[in-house]
Amino acid sequence: MDAIVIKGNGPMKGVTHASGAKNAALPILASSLLAEGEHLYRNVPDLADVSTMLKVLRTMGCEADWSAEKHEVHIRVPKQVLPEAPYELVKTMRASVLVLGPLAARHGRARVSMPGGCAIGARPIDQHLKGLKALGAQIELTEGYVEAKAERLIGARLGFDLITVTGTENVMMAAALAKGRTLIENAAREPEIEELARVLNKMGAKISGAGTDLISIEGVDGLKPVDHAIIPDRIEAGTLLVAAAITGGDVLVKDAVPEHLEALIFKLREAGCTVTPEGGGIRCRGPARVKAIDIKTQEHPGFPTDMQAQVMALMTTAEGASVITENIFENRYMHVAELRRMGADITVDGAVAVVRGQPKLSGAPVMATDLRASASLVLAGLRAEGKTTVGRVYHLDRGYEHLERKLMSLGADIQRVKG
């Protein structure tokens, strides 16, 4: 298994860029199932999760050509697909469940393995199913699979009991081809939801309100294939900004969209960083040592849970004590024990972590069980004295496009070691 070896060597400096957004690419690729024909997606990030979603589509009979260097994916969707996502693929990536809505809507039938829990929480999909039922789908759970059936879905007014990103996406895709009007109340407001609505509207859907908590969808009889360039990844961009902050560096992340990262930018400034929209992206200059800040994760536009681990790494060497509250996932502190191995002083009580900033961290062999936790360990390694070896790099490869190359271009002493 590959590892990443980092020797802390001072400030990150220079210019890098944000790749295409993983969490926009995954629903968009799944949405291709809504229209027969050839779709072209640009700015698709070169990630293991993208590869998994293409496998899911291929098992259904779609053809997918991926040029990772050009960041382009061509998908040909046949008239009839095999509407099934098998356990072997869903267990490697929960976002495979995003095919459920499109399959139920266009093919009248879907059989999708029920995702289990994962390292960061139980993550049920009851709200996805509640939404599809409201549109008239019959849902059954058999042999670990969700089976959805419908002649044609019918628009309805529905409200989620809690805010769910992929749940909103699944129901929005399903409603695009339903008969009549759907109103989704308590919808997620993430930029990736707006992006999916943009793509669906290009395909001929009639969606308004995406980006607010009330989305209105006027169902249409058919959709057409699309040519679309995916928005930049706000979480990857945020991680690179924290690389500047944690090393007292000066980094410009081109293509990062300030409006997508307001909560993080606000917090980085509070910590003493100078953050400015600049050069078609965001520039972050970090002080020698940041000040402690408190964060509470919330749905967008609140502070993103996907940046919690990285900001916790930043807080490990801050001046003062920081209180971090994780409100979205019940088990998203897997990085804490590993950061402690590097000398961090962190205590956790339920959803609340207290981080007492230390003057320094010390490099160590560490590993993590999820994507953002792995990123936080890489960031800590940039700041630590000596050598940090981050194991289980496949977690990073799921969601960061060549992170080590980007950090190397900013001056990091970092390399991937094949194992």
Give the residue numbers annotated as catalytic, written as ranges: 118
Compute the least distance from the CB of residue 27 to ligand EPU, in Å: 7
Compute the least distance from the CB of residue 30 to ligand EPU, in Å: 10
Compute the least distance from the CB of residue 375 to ligand EPU, in Å: 9
- Dihedral pair phi/psi, residue 76, rounded to 5°: -105, 120
| Angle, vertex CA 229, rays to CA 225 and CA 232, nearest 5 | 140
3-state secondary structure the chain: CCEEEEECCCCCEEEEECCECHHHHHHHHHHHHHCCEEEEEECCCCCHHHHHHHHHHHHCCCEEEEECCCCEEEEEECCCCCCEECHHHHCCCHHHHHHHHHHHHHHCEEEEECCCCECCECCCCHHHHHHHHHCCCEEEEECCEEEEECCCCECCEEECCCCCHHHHHHHHHHHHCCECEEEEECCCCCHHHHHHHHHHHHCCCEEECECECEEEEECCCCCCCCEEECCECHHHHHHHHHHHHHHCCEEEEECCCHHHHHHHHHHHHHCCCEEEEECCEEEEECCCCCECCCEEECCCCCECHHHHHHHHHHHCCCECEEEEECCCCCCCCHHHHHHHHCCCEEEEECCEEEEECCCCCECCEEECCCHHHHHHHHHHHHHCECEEEEECCHHHHHHCCCHHHHHHHCCCEEEEECC
Q: Which residue's CB is nearer to ligand EPU, number 220 or number 351?
A: 351
Q: Which residue's CB is nearer to ligand EPU, number 118 or number 408?
A: 118
Compute the least distance from the CB of residue 394 to ligand EPU, in Å: 14
Point out which residues bind ligand EPU (CB under 6 A): 23, 26, 95, 121-128, 162, 164-167, 305-306, 328-329, 371-372, 399
Q: Which residue's CB is nearer to ligand EPU, number 265 or number 361?
A: 265
Compute the least distance from the CB of residue 38 to ligand EPU, in Å: 24
Compute the least distance from the CB of residue 64 to ligand EPU, in Å: 18
Compute the least distance from the CB of residue 190 to ligand EPU, in Å: 7
Q: Which residue's CB is nearer to ligand EPU, number 165 or number 378?
A: 165
Q: Which residue's CB is nearer to ligand EPU, number 214 or number 321?
A: 214
CA-based R_g, the chain, Å = 21
Q: Which residue's CB is nearer to ligand EPU, number 92 or number 358?
A: 92
Q: Which residue's CB is nearer to ligand EPU, number 18 or number 328?
A: 328
